[in-house]
Structure 1
Amino acid sequence: MTSNMASSSSSSRDNMWSVSYDIIIVGAGIAGSALAHALSAAAVERGRPLRICLLERSLAEPDRIVGELLQPGGIMALKKLGLETCVEGIDAIPTYGYCVMLEGNPVHIPYPDGHEGCAFHHGRFIQALRAKAKEAKCVEVVEATVSELIECPLSGRILGVRATRKEEGAVEKEAFFADLTVVADGCFSNFRTQVMGKAAIQPVLKGHFVGMLLEDAQLPIPKHGTVMLVEGSGPVLSYQIGTHDTRILVDVKNPIPSDLKGHILNNIVPQLPAALHLPARKALENDRLRRMPNSFLPASEQGKQTKEGVLLLGDSWNMRHPLTGGGMTVAFNDVVLLRDMLLDVKNLADWQEVKPVLHRWHWARKPLSSTVNILSVALYDLFGAHDPILEVLRTGCFKYFELGGNCVRGPVSLLAAIEQAPFMLFRHFFTVAFYSIWVLFTHPRKVGVVDGKPVYRRPRPDEYPFLAFMSLQVFWTACVVFLPLMWTEIRP
C-alpha cells in the first residue's frame, strides 16, 4: 500500500482528508469504467481483491457525439471483460458493415462471417459501464473533480490525486493516495503532459466532425455505417444509434465556416441520398450543431521517461481519427491486456516491477492499435481529398471495393478489428495504390458537366505520357500518406 512518506507529506495540509487505495482511476468514461470493473472482477477471482477508487467529475449521463459505434472487435473485447450486457437495454442497433457512396453510387462492405458491431447513444452506454463498475466488489465510485496529481517532492513519483467532491458545500480538496494511479480523462486530458514528461507528443488536429441527430431517417443500407464522399468537403458519416435516431457527422476542415448551418444546408445536404434530405433539414432547423475535434495522437511508450506511479489510458494517451469508429475498440482491447498484466504484479507500489509490464503492454497492443490507427488516418486522407492526386487514390479505393471478394473482406476485417495485422494493411493499401493507377489509364473519368450532368470518357493514347507522370505522383503520394503513419506506430 501507499508509503508512510506519502501519508506524512500530506498530513501537514490543514482540513484535508486522505484515503489510500491500491489503484486510483481518474475518469469514469469508456476506458476508466471498463478497467475498474475488469480489474476488480479478475482480482476477486484470483483471491486477491484490489481496493480501487474510480473518480469522475460528473456521474450524470453525458450528452456527446463521440463513442457511438463499436466495431465487432470491440464487441469481442467486451465479452472478454464480462461487459457484453452493457449494450443491452439501451436501444442499441446492430451494425452489419458499411456502405460507401461516391457520386451517388453505393458499394456494400459487409462484415465477414456473421460478425456484427453495435451503435448506440454514447451516454446510455457510459451509464451502463458505470453501473457495472459500481456493482464491482472493492470499487468505490466517487463524484469529484481531480485538480492535481500528488507528486513526491523527493522522488517525483506520483502518489495519488487531489480532488474536490461534488457535494453541496464541498470546497476542500481531499487527497486520494494509491500505489498506482491510472489517468483516463479523455482527449482533453489535463495531466497528459505531466505524466509523459519528455516523451509527451502533442495531438495533431485533423479537422472537426459536426454532428446532428436525424429522426426516422432511412439509410441506403439499413443498419450499416454509411460513408458518403462529397465534393468540396471531407467525408460525411452516418449510422443509426436508436430506433428513431440516426447520427450524421459532417467533416469540416479549418477554417470553420462562420455559418455552419448554411454551409451544411447549401453544400452538403444536396449531395446526400434523397432519403436524408428532409430529416437533415429538420435537424438543422431544430437541433443545435455540436463539434468535436478529430485528432491523431500516437502512443509513446510509458515507463521509460514518464512519471513513476502513474500511467495514461484511452484517449488521454492515444487517439486516432474517428472516421472508422475504432476508438472504443482500441480502448477495450487495451483494458483486456492491461488487466491481465497488472494482476501479475505482486507489488503495485514497486515501479521496477510495474515498468516492464508497461513495456510488454505497449508492444502487446500494437497489432490491433496500429492497424486501427493507421487505417483511420490513411482512409481519412483519401476520403477527405481535395488534391487531384489524392482523388485518384480515393476513386481507386472505391473501385477496389467494387471488385468484392477479398478486396472487401480483407480491408473490412482490418477496419472491424477482427484482424490485427499492420502488414496486411500495408499490402492492401499499396494494392489500392497500384489499382488506382490502373483505373487512371483504363476507366472513364469525369471531364466536365453538360446541362447539369457529368460527362465521362476514357483516356486517349495521347494523354498516356501525362498519365504516366501522374502515376508516379500517385505512388509517391501513397508512400507519403502511409509510410510515416506506419513508422510512428512500429518504431521503438
Structure 2
Amino acid sequence: MSSQYDVLIVGAGIAGSALAYALSQSSAPRRRIALLERSLAEPDRIVGELLQPAGVAFLDKLGLHGALEGIDAIPVHGYAVVQDGRIVHIPYPDGRQGRSFHHGLFVQGLRQHAMRAKGVDVIEATVNELVEKEGRVVGVKATRSNGKEKEAFRADLTIIADGCFSNFRSIVQGPSARPSSTKSYFCGTILKDARLPMSQHGTVALIRGHGPALLYQISEHDTRILIDVKSPVPSDLKKHIITEVLPSLPNQLHEPIRAALSADRVRRMPNSFLPPAPQTHKHGVVLLGDAWNMRHPLTGGGMTVALSDVYILSRHLDKVNDLLDWSQMKKVLDKWWWERKGLAATINIMSVALYDVFGADGECLAVFQDGCFKYFERGGESVRGPVSLLSGIAPSTSLLAYHFFYVALYSIWALFAYPRRIYVPRANNELHVNGTTNETGNGGGVHTDEKNPDMHIMQIPSILDYPRLFWLSCRVLWTAIAIFGPLLWTEIRWW
C-alpha cells in the first residue's frame, strides 16, 4: 500500500504539530500533509513545560494560542533566583508573560489544531525507515498502530521532527550529527500545593557544590521541580536530594518535596547539546526541532526556538512552487538558516553558558556564580538585559557577549570589594579558619553567616590575599573566554 502527500512530517510533538497546522493555513494552493506519530496518547515528559514570552508571541503568530487554553496553564512573569537564603527578583520586561503547563496537555492541544486543519491527516504509525530513490528521500515506511505490515507514505518533502532521541538524525546528516556526551541529568517530580518564593515566577536555586534546581508551577495544584544531577547519577537519588539539595532550598518547599519523594518516583532526562548544521546531506528531507538542534533545558528556550523555526520555515515554504525542485529548496533552507540564527544562536549559547555558571563546577566558576548573583542584585539593565536575552525578546549574540563578560569582570571586582565565602568545619563552638582556631568566631575580619553558621564564614580580603586574588582573577577571565568562545564557534563555524 502507498499513500501520496505533498509534505510528510514525522513526529507530532511541538515542532511537528505546529508545522502541520501552519502549512495548512498557507495562502498558496492547499497541500496535502501527513503527520505521523508513533502514539497519539498524551505524552508524559518532565521538561518542555515553560514557554518563554517570545515563544508565546510565535504561538500567536502561528494562530495556535488556543493550544494554551483549557489546560490550566499558569502565567509566568519572570524568575526568582535563590542563593544562600537570598532572593533576587528578575521580572520579564515591559509586562511580558510566559506560560507554564503540563507538557502533554500542551502537545495534545497542538495536535488537536492539526487534526482540525484542512488537508492534514494525523496518522498513528511507527516510522521504520526512510524511502530513497536515486539518492533522494521520497517518503517513509511505517506500521500503523492497528496493523502489522509496513506501509509506504510518499511525499515531495519529508520533514523529520522526531525529537531529541531521533532515529533518523544520523541518516539525514551523517554519523557526526550526534549530541554531546551527557554530563548531567535533570531529575524531576511534581510537588503538590507548594508555595514558591514568588508566585507565578520560575525559581532558580543555586546549590553550592551541585547543579541548580528549577521550580515552576504547571497547574493550579502542581509545581514541577527539576534538579540538575551530574553524571553519574547517585544510586540513592532520593537520599542525595534530601541531604545535598534540600538544605539550600527555601524552607516552605521542604515538606512538599519530602512528600513528593515518598509518594512518587524521581524521573530523569539527559541534558543534551546539539549545535545546528546546514541541511544539505540528503535531498528531499529536512530536520526540525530537537532532531536537528538542542540546547541545555536550563533556560527553557527549546520550545521558543522550535516555534520560531516553524514560523520562519512555513512562511518560506509558502513561496515554493515545486517542492521537488531541490535547487529552489536549497535557497529556502539557506534563508531559513540565516533568519533563525539571531534567536537560535542567542538561546543556544546562553543555555550552556548559564548552566556552566550556575553549576559552578570549580573555584573559578564559583566566583563567577557569586558575581552573577551580585550582578543581578544591581537591578536595572543588569537584570533587564539578561532576562530579555533568556526570554527571546532580545535575540542578539553581541548583547549576550556584552553581559556575559561584564559579569566576568564584575565577578573579579567583587573578589576584592566583597567579603569572600570560606567553607570551614565547625566543632565544639570553635571556628577553624585557614588552619587556626578563633574561639569567638568573629574576630580578625571574619564574619559568620548567622542563618547557616555551620557551613561557611565570610572573610574580608586583606592586602596579603591580593597576589592570590590577582592570579584567581586571571583564571576567572580565562574561564569566561573558554566557556563563551567554543559555544560561539559552534554557531558561526558554518558561516
Q: Which bracket does the TM-score occupy, shorter chain normalised?
A: over 0.9
Cα deviation digits, residues 80-105 of structure 1 (max 9, x gap): 10001111110000000001111111
Whether contact under 8 Å (2:28, 2:319) holds in the other structure is no
Is residue 436 from structure 1 mapped to residue 416 from structure 2 by the alignment? no
Aligned to 1:93: 74
Aligned to 2:449: none
3-state SS in 1 of match to 2:87: strand
**Amino acid of the residue matched to residue 7 of structure 2?**
I
CA distance in 2, matches of 1:232, 1:457: 19
Whether contact under 8 Å (1:204, 1:297) holds in the other structure is no
Q: CA deviation at 1:198?
A: 6.5
CA distance in 1, matches of 2:45, 2:271: 14
Q: CA deviation at 1:206?
A: 3.3
1:149-168 to structure 2, matched below 5 A, reads 149-152=130-133, 155-167=134-146
CA distance in 2, matches of 1:180, 1:353: 12
Aligned to 1:23: 7
Q: CA deviation at 1:118?
A: 0.3
Aligned to 1:9: none
Whether contact under 8 Å (1:28, 1:130) holds in the other structure is yes
Q: CA deviation at 1:199?
A: 6.1
Aligned to 2:32: 51
CA distance in 2, matches of 1:446, 1:142: 58
* Stretches (4+) displaced over 3 A: 201-204, 448-451
Aligned to 2:465: 463
Aligned to 1:11: none
Whether contact under 8 Å (1:199, 1:300) holds in the other structure is no
**Amino acid of the residue matched to residue 340 of structure 2?**
R
Is residue 270 from structure 1 mapped to residue 254 from structure 2 by the alignment? no
1:48-197 to structure 2, matched below 5 A, reads 48-152=29-133, 155-167=134-146, 170-197=147-174
**Amino acid of the residue matched to residue 157 of structure 1?**
R
Whether contact under 8 Å (1:97, 1:111) holds in the other structure is yes
Query: Share of identical aligned residues, percent?
Result: 58
Aligned CA distance change for structure 1 residues 199 and 365 (closer, same or farther; 3 Å): farther
Whether contact under 8 Å (2:182, 2:231) holds in the other structure is no
3-state SS in 1 of match to 2:272: strand
Aligned CA distance change for structure 1 residues 441 and 343 (closer, same or farther; 3 Å): same
**Amino acid of the residue matched to residue 291 of structure 2?**
S
Cα deviation digits, residues 201-256 of structure 1 (max 9, x gap): 44342310001100000000111111001122100011000000000001011111
CA distance in 2, matches of 1:120, 1:204: 29
Aligned to 1:326: 301
CA RMSD, 1 decimal: 1.0
Aligned to 2:487: 485
3-state SS in 2 of match to 1:386: coil
**Amino acid of the residue matched to residue 25 of structure 1?**
I
3-state SS in 2 of match to 1:295: coil
Aligned to 2:207: 230
3-state SS in 2 of match to 1:365: helix
1:289-438 to structure 2, matched below 5 A, reads 289-303=266-280, 306-438=281-413
CA distance in 2, matches of 1:97, 1:200: 34
CA distance in 1, matches of 2:68, 2:415: 44
Whether contact under 8 Å (1:206, 1:296) holds in the other structure is no
Aligned to 2:23: 39
Cα deviation digits, residues 23-69 of structure 1 (max 9, x gap): 0000000000000000111x2xx240010000000000111112100
Is residue 261 from structure 1 mapped to residue 212 from structure 2 by the alignment? no
CA distance in 2, matches of 1:88, 1:209: 28
3-state SS in 2 of match to 1:213: strand
Cα deviation digits, residues 114-139 of structure 1 (max 9, x gap): 10000000010000000000011100
3-state SS in 2 of match to 1:205: coil
Q: TM-score, normalised by structure 1?
A: 0.94
CA distance in 2, matches of 1:172, 1:377: 43
Aligned CA distance change for structure 1 residues 47 and 471 (closer, same or farther; 3 Å): closer
CA distance in 2, matches of 1:216, 1:307: 50
3-state SS in 1 of match to 2:481: helix
Whether contact under 8 Å (2:92, 2:391) holds in the other structure is yes
3-state SS in 2 of match to 1:446: strand
Unmatched runs of 5 consecutive residues or more in structure 2 = 425-430, 432-452
Q: CA deviation at 1:187?
A: 0.2
CA distance in 1, matches of 2:111, 2:455: 53
